[in-house]
Structure 1
Amino acid sequence: MQKPSNLLPEGFHDALPPYAEAASRLERDVLDTLASHGYARVTPPLAEYEDGLTERMQGGSRSDLIRLVDPISQRTLALRPDMTMQIGRIAATSMADRPRPLRLSYSGQVLKLRSGQLQPERSRLQIGAELIGADSVVAASEIVSVAIEALERAGVSGITVDFTMPDLIDILAAGPLPLPQAQIAEVRGELDMKDAGGLNAMGATGYLPLIEATGPFDDAMAKLRAFDGDGLLGSRLDGVAEIAASIRGKAELTLDPTERHGFEYQNWFGFTLYAESFIGALGRGGSYEIAQADGETEAAVGFSLYPDPLINAGFGAKTSEQIFLPLGHDRNAAAKLRATGWRTVAALSEKDQAQTLGCSHILNGDQPEPL
């Protein structure tokens, strides 16, 4: 008989104690926070037909698809790399007749074809909320506030919200700072890298002030308003400023108006969530549109959290005392201990030892006794 392989594919791993339990507890805490604000949970399937999934995807996410052939239908299936577009499908089909605004939450694993150096995992937990039927300042303010509260409920402190305006370059390129269509992506890339030399070399010098309009929110917003001399961006800047004002004091606020990474399908407003002691983003959100069956679109705003770094750092872990139950122990006493939060580990033979099994106490009669 051939020896089975114990290797897992690159980018996948087993969740072991105590991390698996911590993940479940953190997930529950976040989902409870969302539910307390009226977000009802939905659970879409891990796989869908590729054509249906890709119709709702934008940007580079299509290259993240893991594909396989369904042996029943013989059609190509795809494993989801993101759950947001699935929530959009549910809102546009099964829940199309529900009153708006529609508040939905979700949680599940997403799978990516490739991994990066900062995020080597190809399977990760995604938890989020979508407010469908509105993308107003009030709706956006609620989403950002709920996202902060969810992270706080998970035990996170030192939160920073970094705002962006995903369609800013499109607006400028179609108006006061015209660009050929083929050059828009290049300008976005140079702005993402904050490469003033690259913009100069391309002749896109009008976009240089946007590099300076980055950093602490108030200073960056003042520079952005100064840049917007003719007031083209006035209503958008006012909207982002109003959202920031609604959460002032709850988190540090920064602004990077040209940030596009992770915002391929958002439109007028986006935000990234960071926290002290963590490298990289813990979540992202913003406003977008959902395609309807009749060809129309519906406004929405939402966010997704990726809490694996929190779980790996011990967030969600809960210390509870574990008591060893000898052979012939008092079962009623053990049940009462479990009801008050104790974990019990029952002996299966005389060989079982309390300390070996990780217990801090032993049941002596009907009372726990420290080891």
Structure 2
Amino acid sequence: MSVPPIGPTELTPMLPEGLRDLLPERAARRRAVARTVLSAFERYGYATVVPPAFERESVVARGVGGAVRRELLRFLDPEVGDVLVLRPDMTPQIARLVATRYREHPGPIRLSYEGSVVRRPRGRARRQRQLSQAGIECIGFAPPHADLEVIAATLDALHALGLRDLVVELSHAGALSAVIDALPAAVREPVADAVAVRDHAVWRSLLSGAELAHVERLVACAGEASELDGWSAGLRALGHADVVDALSAVVAGLERSGSRVIVDLGELRGRGYYTGLFFEVLADGVGSPLAGGGRYDALLGRYGAPRTATGAAIDLEAVESALAQRGLDRDPRPSKVLVVGSAAARASTASRLRAEGRAVSECDPVDEETLSRLVAWEGYTEVLRPDGG
């Protein structure tokens, strides 16, 4: 039975919602950005690994929270019946890899990666299912040195791309997350939800006394890193000396980066996952962070290989947006030459140019209109006709 041809309008919905194709120019830019980022990571001693695109659900579920678990895209392995998932995050894969392949490694272990993660869209804010990342994981290296190294490597990677006007936002899981986790179970999640959207009325209706004062003091600690010294005495009195010390050490180390550093102790991102300092890198005009990460000392223990750990991931799509807004997204592809003519006439010319390192395409003789369209579509910078045709 013959299959009827598909018209152009019928092709439009063939790509699943939330996915996109990268055509040659965009793909070349993505590859160039990823190469620059991974090269910067290499300068800090990070070795690149390539984990698989999917894993057993039981492996990934150990390393992600409930919200991410609900976003997993699952499918059944028809060969053995296992439930598999497309990876929603690279870090659980690195944890599995370290627990199995690096079990005897004395540490520190420094690994980098680049690839796509896939999640179901959550709400209207995120339309893309497939996110491209490049990141690092630093395992078995103590804070604050490891925290500072990971942030510095992330900033150096972004600087290498030409991005300079960056803001580093620091927070710590020992601040508000720890306080909310100690609240009575009945109000814990409602308070967390209210704080996440800064709904003062709701959390004030749920809390009172010392608990309310504690939460509001931490939410108020948001501003330039230079303000940390002024908050220090009050935070220490509330039992957050470790938070102050960790943040102060990293702030001092980041002074050399030239980036603006802010602190927000009312941040709940990664609650239940991060165990210490965590951060985001922001840029004006970009709707999402360029990068983020933090300390996750409990994760490796879930895979039977407890070690301290911290890491970061750079959102390559957000980086491309920042580069475009700043006029830094130049096409990295080499200039291309089109050699037009008979196979016999164009062969030697094409071979000679390729031997010189030029990018060369060949084409049979065509009419001028078709040739003009081809040149415009492919972006050829030079057209040669060795046989004069």
Aligned: 1:168 with 2:175: yes
Aligned to 2:99: 92
Aligned to 1:268: 276
- In 1, distance between residues paired with 2:282 and 2:123? 18
Aligned: 1:202 with 2:228: no
Aligned to 1:306: 315
Aligned to 2:37: 30
Would you say the 8 A contact 2:99–2:304 is kept in 1?
Answer: no
Give, as a single letter, the amino acid of the residue that structure 1 aligns with 2:38.
L
Would you say the 8 A contact 1:213–1:223 is kept in 2?
Answer: no
Aligned: 1:353 with 2:371: yes
Give, as a single letter, the amino acid of the residue that structure 1 aligns with 2:147.
A
Change (3 A) 1:104 1:255: same
Give, as a single letter, the amino acid of the residue that structure 2 aligns with 1:285.
G
- In 2, distance between residues paired with 1:294 and 1:38? 24
Q: Aligned to 1:343, which of 349, 359, 362?
A: 359
Aligned length: 358
Aligned: 1:211 with 2:224: no
- In 2, distance between residues paired with 1:48 and 1:295? 18
Give, as a single letter, the amino acid of the residue that structure 1 aligns with 2:47.
A
Q: Aligned ranges for residues 193-342 of structure 1 at < 5 Å?
A: 193-204=197-208, 205-206=212-213, 207-219=215-227, 221-222=228-229, 224-230=231-237, 232-248=239-255, 249-289=257-297, 290-292=299-301, 295=304, 297-311=306-320, 314=324, 315=329, 317-318=331-332, 320-327=334-341, 328-329=345-346, 330-337=349-356, 339=357, 342=358
- Which stretch shifts more, 87-96 or 255-264? 255-264
Aligned: 1:118 with 2:125: yes
Secondary structure of the structure 2 residue equivalent to 1:274:
strand
Give, as a single letter, the amino acid of the residue that structure 2 aligns with 1:96.
R
Aligned to 1:190: 194
- In 1, distance between residues paired with 2:363 and 2:4? 36
- In 2, distance between residues paired with 1:46 and 1:316? 30
TM-score by length of 1: 0.88
- In 2, distance between residues paired with 1:202 and 1:226? 27
Aligned to 1:82: 89
- In 2, distance between residues paired with 1:95 and 1:85? 14
- Which stretch shifts more, 189-198 or 354-363? 354-363
**What percent of counterpart residues are identical?**
23
Give, as a single letter, the amino acid of the residue that structure 1 aligns with 2:371.
Q
- Structure 2 unaligned spans of 5+: none
- In 1, distance between residues paired with 2:216 and 2:253? 30
- In 2, distance between residues paired with 1:203 and 1:89? 40
Would you say the 8 A contact 1:115–1:122 is kept in 2?
Answer: no
Question: What displacement does 1:194 show?
Answer: 2.4
What's the CA shift string for 1:155-189, capped at 9, x where partnerless? 32311111111242354358xxx621332333332
Question: What displacement does 1:291 show?
Answer: 3.1
Aligned to 1:107: 114
TM-score by length of 2: 0.84
Question: What displacement does 1:43 show?
Answer: 1.3
Aligned to 1:368: none
- In 2, distance between residues paired with 1:103 and 1:144? 14
Question: What displacement does 1:115 show?
Answer: 4.2
Secondary structure of the structure 1 residue equivalent to 2:296:
strand
Q: CA RMSD in A?
A: 2.5
